Amino acid sequence: MDAQQFYRSRLGTVEGALGLIRSGDTIATSIYGNEPTHFLRNLHTIADHVDSVTLWTMFMMGKYSVMYDESLKGKIDIISFFYNADCRAGHHTGRFSMVPLNLHSVGATIVATKRPTVFVAGVSPMDEEGRVYLSFDLQASLECMAAADTVIFEINRHIPRVFGECAVPIQRADYIYEADTPLPHAEVSAFTEVERRIGENVASLIRDGDCIQLGIGNIPNAVGE
């Protein structure tokens, strides 16, 4: 069976993909521009026939009912290593839990903590070699894909092809559906007066010839180191 035949044999709908989710499943998704937006927009609709489903979230870009609907407690609950605004807003519901980890070991820690049984990724359209692309996300996707029992690809024409390890054979998918959804993106917000003053104070420390290394999250680097 060639790649095109395989693609057609696995092609379905987002409703068919959601129908693969069973009680007790743990779902992980790709993130950033590979967030499977169509799947996540509809995930809350399965709550009437599942229990004890867990969704791994990382840097959720879109606004989805599955993150806000308090009636989903015990149906679809959230586990995350990045307790973002959505998690903090829903903390009082008891639906959210936090797993501390080192950024360099995200994938391995996710799998060791609560292994994904289902992995869902937004990917580029298939190329002539039968590959799709996780163009924006190798943070944990490959590890979660390897660990999952079921792999679902949301084919999105807006996701470009970026060459390298993010190329994945279409045969890794157990189920495929197509979606035409714009890429998720972070909203730009105006900085505050406090943030402006922080920036000015930091800038005042910089001297000609300095070598600047920036840290993010739990990476222990700082300006000037």
The position carrying tokens 């008891």 is 94
At residue 225, the pLDDT reads 35
Question: Which of 17-21, 137-141, 202-206 has the least mean pLDDT?
Answer: 202-206
CA atoms within 13 A on the CB side of 187: 4
At residue 84, the pLDDT reads 84
**Measured distance CA(22)–CA(14) in Å, rounded:** 15
Q: What is the average per-residue pLDDT within 42-68?
A: 93
Say which residue, 183 or 34, is predicted with more confidence: 34
**Measured distance CA(67)–CA(47) in Å, rounded:** 13
At residue 191, the pLDDT reads 79
pTM: 0.85
Q: What is the average per-residue pLDDT within 156-174?
A: 95
Return the H-helix or E-strand segment holding 153. Answer: strand 150-156
116, 155, 39, 137: CA torsion to nearest 10: 50
Say which residue, 109 or 202, is predicted with more confidence: 109
Question: Which of 34-38, 59-63, 144-148, 165-169 has the least mean pLDDT?
Answer: 59-63
Do residues 77 and 55 make contact, with C-beta atoms less than 8 angstroms apart? yes
Task: Name, in order, each residue with C-beta under 8 angstroms of 173's C-beta and a sequence gap of 6 or more.
Answer: 10, 151, 152, 153
At residue 52, the pLDDT reads 97
Say which residue, 171 or 209, is predicted with more confidence: 171
Do residues 34 and 159 make contact, with C-beta atoms less than 8 angstroms apart? yes
Confidence at 214, pLDDT banded by 50, 70, 90? low
Do residues 14 and 38 make contact, with C-beta atoms less than 8 angstroms apart? yes
Smallest CA-to-CA distance from 56 within 24, 96, 90 is with 96
Smallest CA-to-CA distance from 138 within 173, 172, 114, 103 is with 103
**Measured distance CA(40)–CA(100) in Å, rounded:** 24
At residue 21, the pLDDT reads 98
